[in-house]
């Protein structure tokens, strides 16, 4: 990844609430089981679809 991405380290420093993610995905909060912040993406485990990856760039 880029030097800027390595310097920012979003997986360690970036925090987002379940409410905000549900709003971004346009789904109810109760459909989100858990959120995992990975190195390059956020993984959202959903009850209806299974899993969904979201890039930090979209957040």
Which pLDDT band, with edges at 50, 70 and 90, does 4 fall under? low
Question: Residue 27: its pLDDT value, please?
Answer: 93
Question: Residue 10: its pLDDT value, please?
Answer: 63
Has residue 8 got a pLDDT over 90?
no
Q: What's the farthest any 2 CA atoms get from each other in the chain?
A: 37
Q: What is the pLDDT of residues 18-56, one digit of tens each?
A: 898 999 999 999 999 999 988 888 899 999 988 999 987
First CA to last CA distance, the chain: 17
Question: Residue 15: its pLDDT value, please?
Answer: 76
């Amino acid at each position: 990844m880029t030097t800027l991405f390595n310097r920012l380290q979003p997986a360690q420093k970036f925090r987002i609430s379940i409410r905000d993610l549900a709003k971004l995905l346009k789904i109810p909060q109760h459909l989100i089981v858990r959120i995992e912040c990975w190195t390059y993406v956020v993984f959202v485990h959903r009850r209806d679809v299974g899993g969904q990856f979201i890039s930090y760039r979209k957040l």
